[in-house]
Amino acid sequence: MNSSLRKLQVILADRVRLLSRQLDDVSDPSEARKILDEMQEFNHRVTLVGGLLFRQQSQDLDNKVEAVRRAKSKVDRAIKNIADLANMLQTISDFLALVDEAIDLAKTL
Position among 80, 106, 107, 108 found at the interface with another protein (CB under 8 A):
80
Name the residue nearer to another protein (CB basis): 27 or 108: 27
CA distances from 60 to 7, 37, 46, 55, 82 (A): 18, 35, 21, 9, 34
Query: Does 97 help bind another protein (rule: CB under 8 A)?
Result: yes
Minimum distance of another protein from residue 64's CB (angstroms): 5
Alpha-carbon distance of 72 to 62, in angstroms, equals 15
Name the residue nearer to another protein (CB basis): 69 or 105: 69
Residue 89 identity = L
Query: Helices 2-23 & 29-108, crossing angle to 10 degrees?
Result: 140
Strand intervals (E) in 7-96: none
Query: Does 4 help bind another protein (rule: CB under 8 A)?
Result: no
Alpha-carbon distance of 8 to 13, in angstroms, equals 9
Provide the binding-site residues for another protein, judged by CB under 8 A: 5-7, 9-10, 12-14, 16-17, 19-20, 23, 26-29, 32-33, 36-37, 39-41, 43-44, 46-48, 50-51, 53-55, 57-62, 64-65, 67-72, 74-76, 78-83, 85-87, 89-90, 92-94, 96-97, 100
